[in-house]
Structure 1
Amino acid sequence: MALVIMSNKGFISWIVIGALAFATVFVLPVRAQLPFLPKISLETFKLNQNQDQALVSGCVRLDGLCIFQMLDQKANLAPRIKFTEERLKDISQSYFASDDSEVTVSRQATGTQESIYVIVGNRRVPVLTMNERDAVRRGVYLEHEAERVAQQIERGLREAKTQRQKPFLLRQGKIAGGIFLSMILGSLLNSRFLRRSQRKKIEIREDINQTISSELDRRKKINLQEVKYRLLQFIQVIIWAVGIILILGLFPYTRTTQLWIITIVRIPLRIALVTLITYLLIRLSYALIAKINSVFSSNAIENNYVFSPEVNRRLGLRINTISRLSKGIVTLVWICIGIFVALSIIGFNIAPLLAGAGILGLAFSFASQSLIKDALNGFLIILEDQYAVGDIVTIGTSGGMVENLNLRITQLRDAEGRLITIANSQINDVANHSNGWSRSDIRIAVAYQIDLNKAIEIIEAIAVEIWEDSDWRNNILESPQILGVEDFSERGVVIRLWFKTEPLKQWEVAREFRRRIKIAFEQADIPLPLPQQQVWFQEDVFSHSGKKNQGNIQH
């Protein structure tokens, strides 16, 4: 499936844009660091003996740059980072405002603690107090750890001041201009491929095919083109979003805005990314289902399993039903996986949720045996090809066209347009009117006083006429069978005949035959009989002449 996508020339755009994004992120001298959730280092993990005392690390930032990493318990980390950043921000204002002042970071030992001060001019501001636990967590001595942190703070302050100087800002401005130009070029290039992909998608949708293999190939192309189109849309958004974030991270005045934006959109972006990946996986699964069905139908044709257009149509109905069912199952599975992954990414512990879902599923299986029976019966209906979507069936007292079929229900649309829903577990006897071939079973009544042989000749002549008519020959599979006199009814003598037709064409053939037989009877002066009844009665009363009175009344 990946090879099919790569075969398209438009895929070159992905490579170009990917290379552009790589160069922008990793080659350009952009030094802004993105914030991430607190993480646990390997050393910290080894020192953790109690889950409540777990250690996490976090960045102390100045102008959006990470000055040094602080390690502490989760409950204490955020307040310490906030206090240190506020002190650094306060002293840095004096340092940045003065062109002559130098910055010095000193340490002062107090018992088992080390205090770190920042000195600018006449100001001496304490920014951090460290104790033995900070050193033990790192596996070093306290004075060594304090010295390392002091050097990082001093280097961070000097670098922050350098980045506010005119030469650095001019250089960053040039980089920002390059990034913005790359954004425009990448967006224009991607827009071109996006429009081309849109046109291609419309062309594929409008290209209606008649054969099963061609239709399945069209469905596969539609889904693959949809994947490509959505990826190009995503790339278009990424080009501008990443470009703007990178430009904001180039300057010390806007890095805080960059970090604020990233912090705000971090969780929604993760959910959106999981949603996009889930959607693409669903579409790729649809393409894979179409490909598998295409291989199945091609093998059937090559192995001479398909002998006639009707069998070919039947195979198409079956494949269509299986495809609909497979797509429904695949969609449900991927959506469930996507939900669990999204919950896991944003920080929820899904282990209890999975365990609860298992227990709930077990209880649900006992309480919903009818649903299980529906699913099993629905699977057997599809496997045995009892009927498929598009068939005309009669189930019990309900009949109509199968409009929807899944593992749980079958939905029929009857002649009056009503949608009838039947649980698959309630389906025992099914009469399929469109599987393989159909038959028009026609009964024509003629009056008793009409010449029967002449009526049969006319009926046979009209039947042969329809059979030889080029407009109707494609709908009739065999020559009509005149079965002869079927019954003596209240309307007259019933003559029966059969037409073997294509599926679902039996009603059209019967209606056309009745129209022609009516015209032929009128031309031969043979009236169509009305319901009639003959009643004989006898009265056991002697008349004056001594004879019985007898009579009859005919209606």
Structure 2
Amino acid sequence: MGRYRLGGLLKTGLVSLLACLWLSVSSLTTPAQLGESILDLSRPTLTQSVEEGEDAVVASCVRLDGHCAFRVAAPKSDLNGRVQNIEKVLAQIRKAYVTTPDPVLTIELRQEGGEVSQLSSATAATSDAESPADIAPKSPGIYLAVSPQPPVKLMNLTRFDANLKGVDVETAAEEYGEQVRSSLERARQERQSRYLLIQTGICVAVVVLLLGINWAIMQRERQLRTTRSQLKASLRARSQSLQSVLDERQHWNVTEVQLRFAQLVRAGLWIGGILLILSRFPYTRIIEVRVIDSLYIPFRLLLIGLTIYLAIRLSFALINRLTAVLASSYEITPELNRRMQLRVNTISRVSRGIVILTWLGVGILSALTAIGLNIGPLLAGAGIIGVALSLPAQSLIKDAINGFFIILEDQYAVGDVITVHGIRGLVENINLRITQLRDEEGRLVTIPNSEIGVIANHSSNWSQADVYIPISYHTDVDKVLDLIQKTGLEMKASDRWHDAMLVEPEVLGVEDFGERGLTIRVWIKTQPLKQWDVAREYRRRLKVVLDAEGIVIPAHIDFKSPAS
């Protein structure tokens, strides 16, 4: 039931988020306002390239109350100034239009060179902003008049504007006039009391809906935090089986993804809701446009960062799932559980490192693309640098390849005791480049993986204590062999050493005739890393038994015959 509740909650939040963002964006532009479809325009500046080259011509929206009234085109260096001047004139005309009772809007199309009436200096600035070279031959100027005020020049129709419409100059001028008329009429309607009351009711409903969804998501976040804390405490316990550890790690990563996603949905809902509220009123709609324009690139970078984070967490969950499948394919006995856990930890750690580096690379490239950089030359340059560095980096490549096969073939893992080049120590760290050992004197020895050849692993699956016992030539060998065998059986039967000793000690017999006397050899098969503890305890017990029987372990050569 918890999963179904979570799925429904996340679906509801995501749908609400998309709805808020769609409504806020749809409030900015509609096909009726633009004449042509605006769906092919890039957000947030609504600019579009018309020509390519150094003097590229781009198109942009002229806004009125945050809505895109119409589009104009100009060289990229002149576009912003032209749009700002047209918006200033259009705002003054709107003011006159909405404050005049029963206004009559007259739109005149005049050829360049005719009489011009100016409403203010801003109108004159608009005329000056039009470069003569950009004005189409015999192109008309668009003049607006709100009776009883004189006509005011809004803009000159350039050849770029006509090319943007895809029609002749006269038809384009007529279309611009109709779009201006529609925008002014909408601006007047949006300032009516009835419209403002309706929008206020919509905003209240949106706030109530946001508060309800926010409360539900916060409740779910509280449950996820509790679950995460419990899993974290459980993972710290040392008495769990390997399968349980892997399952809980996978559950922890999935819980982390769900928690971060819920937080993202909640933040997105509030941002979308605030933008939606701002877009409902003509006085604040331009704030929404400016916020979207200013936060467009930071929002994309934040979204990329969150996506990479969630992808890394999901990859961790997948790694835990795959390692759980690997562990379940073996018959994990208590003896092999620790060994398999060491191997799984090593593979998981290396896999997580590779995943982090891979996703960080993808995130960096995506971020560079989001801020407008062309990553093609960057990738080409990186390829050239990689080829240039391949020769001096051969040792690093050899380290990585050898390290990969060491982990894949399970030659050793973190926690094993190995001997490499005469150095014996505990493996504390292993990655694709190096292996670090802690030797018997506590020194940390770092060995490049490319230099690791013959390895002696003292703790792979099981270990063995190899015990040599010297006795005098005058001692009854059969009696000593019997005492050695009984001592081993008693030790194996004890509660403390029963699990550490896998089988009963194997007495091989007389191994050698040496200077000290006879040498008897004993093998004791033990749990990994327990051979030294078992050997020490076995020697202690055997010394006690031999002393009790009066059998002396020789310390030097004794050539004297027994006392006669």
TM range (shorter): 0.7 to 0.9
Contact 2:417/2:426 (8 A) holds in 1: yes
2:35 equivalent to 1:31? no
Alignment of 1:437 onto 2:445: no
Question: Within 2, Cα distance between the matches of 1:67 and 1:505?
Answer: 82
CA–CA separation in structure 2 for the residues paired with 1:87 and 1:418:
79
Aligned counterpart, 1:178: 205
Task: Please name the residue that 2:253 is paired with.
Answer: 223
- Asked whether the equivalents of residues 105 and 153 of structure 1 are also in contact (C-alpha less than 8 Å), the reply is no
Q: 1:29 to 1:414 in 2, by over 3 A?
A: closer
**SS of 1:504 mapped into structure 2:** coil
Instruction: Give the equivalent residue in structure 1 for 2:282.
Output: 252
1:239: which partner in 2? 269
Distance 1:417 1:357, change over 3 A: same
Q: Structure 1: how far apart are the matches of 2:472 and 2:242? A: 50
Which range is displaced more, 485-494 or 359-368?
Answer: 485-494
Aligned runs of 1:339-350 on 2, under 5 Å? Answer: 339-350=364-375
Name which of 154, 169, 178 aligns with 1:151.
178
The residue aligned with 1:380 is 405
Among candidates 140, 144, 164, match of residue 118 of structure 1:
144
Residue 83 of structure 1: aligned partner: 85
What TM-score does the superposition give when structure 1 sets the normalisation length? 0.84
Q: Following TM superposition, by how much is the alpha carbon of 1:179 offset from its aligned partner in structure 2, in angstroms?
A: 0.9
SS at match of 1:171: helix
Bigger drift between 117-126 and 130-139 goes to 117-126
Q: 1:142 to 1:410 in 2, by over 3 A?
A: same
Structure 1 pair 252/491, CA: closer, same or farther in 2 (3 Å)?
farther
Measured at CA, do residues 6 and 433 of structure 1 come closer, stay the same or move farther in structure 2, by a change above 3 Å?
same
Give the C-alpha shift of residue 451 in structure 1.
7.3
- The aligned counterpart of 1:192 is 219
Which whole-Å CA distance do the structure 2 matches of 1:332 and 1:90 have between them? 56
What per-residue deviation string (whole Å, max 9, x for no partner) do you get for residues 64-83 of structure 1? Answer: 11111122332232221122
Structure 1 partner of 2:129: none
Paired position in structure 1 for 2:12: 16
How many aligned positions are there? 520
Give the root-mean-square deviation of aligned CA atoms.
Answer: 3.2
Percent of aligned pairs with the same amino acid: 40
* CA apart distance, 1:157: 2.3
| Structure 1 residue 258 displacement after superposition | 1.8
Bigger CA drift: 250-259 or 318-327? 318-327
Q: What TM-score does the superposition give when structure 2 sets the normalisation length?
A: 0.82
1:87: how far off?
A: 2.1
1:228 to partner: Cα distance: 1.4
- The 3 A distance-change label for structure 1 pair 414 and 253 is farther
Matching residue of 1:127? 154
Instruction: Give a deviation string over 1:169-224, Cα, whole Å, max 9, x none.
Output: 21111111111111101100111111222223333444458444443333332222
| Partners of 1:179 and 1:243 within 8 A in 2 | yes
CA distance in 1 between counterparts of 2:549 and 2:107 reads: 121
**CA shift digits 1:263-302 (9 cap, x unpaired):** 222111101111111122222222222333333443x34x
Match of 1:498 in 2: 523
Other-structure match for 1:402: 427
How big is the shift at 1:97? 4.8
- In the alignment, is the contact (CA less than 8 A) between 1:64 and 1:255 conserved in 2? yes
**In terms of mean alpha carbon deviation, does 167-176 or 195-204 score higher?**
195-204
Alpha carbons 1:103, 1:158 under 8 Å: kept: no
CA contact (8 A) 2:24 2:279 kept: no
Equivalent residue of 1:374, what SS?
Answer: helix
- CA gap 1:241/1:29 in 2 versus in 1, 3 angstroms: closer
Deviations 1:504-534 (A, max 9, x none): 11122123224434544565566777x6689
Task: Tell whether the 8 Å contact from 2:250 to 2:316 is kept in structure 1 after alignment.
Answer: yes
Query: Map of 1:66-77 to 2, 5 A cutoff?
Result: 66-77=68-79
8 Å contact 1:35–1:259 — kept in the other structure? no
Instruction: State whether residues 442 and 496 of structure 1, in contact with CA within 8 Å, keep that contact through their aligned partners in structure 2.
Output: yes
Asked if the contact 2:190/2:282 (under 8 Å) is kept, the reply is yes
SS at match of 1:89: helix
3-state SS in 2 of match to 1:69 = strand
Residue 508 of structure 1 corresponds to which residue in structure 2? 533
Q: Distance in 1 between matches of 2:27 and 2:423?
A: 72
Give the AA of the match of 1:63.
D
The aligned counterpart of 1:546 is none
Query: Which amino acid counterpart does residue 387 of structure 1 have in structure 2?
Result: Y
Q: Aligned partner of 1:253: which letter?
A: Y
Tell me how far 1:242 sits from its aligned partner. Answer: 1.0
Distance 1:24 1:351, change over 3 A: closer
Distance 2:93 2:514 in 1: 113
Identify which of structures 1 and 2 has the higher relative contact order when contacts are C-alpha pairs closer than 8 Å and 6+ apart.
Answer: 2
Q: CA deviation at 1:238?
A: 0.7
8 Å contact from structure 1 (residues 30, 246) kept in 2: no
- 5+ long unaligned stretches in structure 2: 30-41, 113-136
The secondary structure found in structure 1 opposite 2:373 is coil
Number of the residue aligned with 1:351: 376
Deviation at 1:382, TM superposition (A): 2.2
Structure 1 unaligned runs (5+)? 537-555
Distance 2:325 2:485 in 1: 47
Contact 1:24-1:179 within 8 A present in 2 as well: no
The 3 A distance-change label for structure 1 pair 398 and 114 is: farther
CA contact (8 A) 2:13 2:266 kept: no
Aligned to 1:269: 299
CA distance in 1, matches of 2:418, 2:25: 70
Change (3 A) 1:491 1:83: farther
Residue in 2 that maps onto 1:468: 493
Q: CA deviation at 1:468?
A: 1.3
Q: Does 353-362 or 198-207 show the bigger shift?
A: 198-207
Given that 1:445 and 1:491 are in contact with CA atoms closer than 8 Å, whether structure 2 keeps it comes out as yes
Conservation of the 8 A alpha-carbon contact between 1:30 and 1:250: no
Q: Does the residue aligned with 1:52 lie in a helix, a strand or coil?
A: coil
Which of 453, 456, 461 lines up with 1:428 in the alignment? 453
Aligned to 1:287: 317
Name the amino acid aligned to 2:44: F
